[in-house]
């Protein structure tokens, strides 16, 4: 699998692209839109809003800059809601990263599962709508 430094999902081989396409088919149109926004780094998190809308780039819950990675992996306020995702990575014995969270696994089944957990997580912390 090809990965660039930032974990960009678009730098991939044909096999990986086919797996990514199948993941999208498992989602509703709305969920697919949200996933694509996250993958393309155009999601409405603090840093993005600061850059394009002139709003504060700080996380509303802790004293850190709110990037997609912060929201998805690091924010201490949503640790409890992230439990299923953490459990998934522990079971798979894979290091948690933004790339893997957004469908970077080699198998279609694993990608569908992790993306589903990510959508559930964002729904639980009430952030799916404003992403």
| Cα-to-chain-centroid distance, residue 69 | 8
101 interacts with Zn ion by CB under 5 A: no
Rounded to whole angstroms, the Cα distance separating 44 from 29 reads 18
By rule CB under 5 A, what count of residues binds Zn ion? 4
61 interacts with Zn ion by CB under 5 A: yes
- Positions in 16-55 near Zn ion (CB under 5 A): none
Nearest distance, CB of residue 3 and Zn ion, angstroms? 26
- Strand intervals (E) in 8-50: none
Residues 6+ apart with CB under 8 A from 2: 11, 12, 13, 16
Residue with Cβ nearer Zn ion (11 or 62): 62
Q: Which of 59, 98, 119, 122 binds Zn ion (CB under 5 A)?
A: 59
Residue with Cβ nearer Zn ion (9 or 75): 75
Phi first, then psi: what are they for 8, rounded to 5°?
-60, 125
Q: Which of 47, 75, 112, 113 binds Zn ion (CB under 5 A)?
A: 75
Contact 114, 35 (CB under 8 A): no
Phi first, then psi: what are they for 65, rounded to 5°?
-70, 130
Residue with Cβ nearer Zn ion (77 or 106): 77
Residues near Zn ion, by CB under 5 A? 59, 61-62, 75
């Amino acid at each position: 699998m090809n990965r660039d430094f930032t974990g960009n999902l678009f730098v991939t081989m044909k096999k990986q692209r086919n797996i990514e396409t199948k993941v999208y088919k498992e989602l509703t149109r709305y969920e697919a839109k949200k996933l694509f926004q996250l993958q393309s780094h155009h999601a409405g998190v603090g840093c993005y809003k600061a850059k394009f809308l002139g709003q504060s780039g700080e996380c509303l819950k802790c004293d850190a800059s709110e990037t997609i990675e912060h929201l998805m992996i690091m924010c201490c306020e949503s640790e409890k809601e992230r439990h299923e995702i953490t459990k998934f990575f522990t079971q798979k014995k894979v290091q948690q990263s933004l790339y893997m969270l957004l469908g970077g696994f080699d198998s279609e089944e694993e990608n569908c599962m992790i993306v589903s957990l990510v959508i559930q997580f964002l729904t639980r912390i009430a952030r799916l709508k404003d992403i």
